[in-house]
Amino acid sequence: MSNCPVFNTTDLLGKKWTFFILQELEHNNSGFNSISKMLKSARPKVLSRRLKDLEEKGVIQKETLSVKPLRTRYGLTDKGKKLNLILNELKDWHLEYTKESLPCKKTKCSECNLF
């Protein structure tokens, strides 16, 4: 793995569904099923791996609500909230400096039905 912080950050963010997970968790803490419903095309195995990656990097945190039945929810850490600020800046940059328009004007990218 590279020691370049930009490479490492883009490597994390470049993985499928990462942006959408972060956008979903920006607005509320959500359980796996809720995130899965929002990201209709995401396979459970991939979604689970992505959540684990983000948790290992300290971007999100997993909270256990109950043991029987097992219920958990995910939320952004302070590190994740700061990362979301950067993602929102990228969205704003796109709106200001590109000729293409976004497919929707929703507040969360995960609300688009493109995926």
Rg (CA), the chain: 15
pLDDT tens across 68-88, in order? 888 889 999 999 999 999 888
Q: What is the pLDDT of residue 97?
A: 85
Q: What is the pLDDT of residue 101?
A: 58
Q: Counting Cβ atoms within 10 Å, is residue 69 exposed (0-12), middle (13-18) or buried (19+)?
A: exposed
Class of domain 5-101: mainly alpha
**Domain spans, the chain:** 5-101
Check pLDDT > 90 for residue 92: no
Cβ atoms of residues 29 and 73 within 8 Å: yes
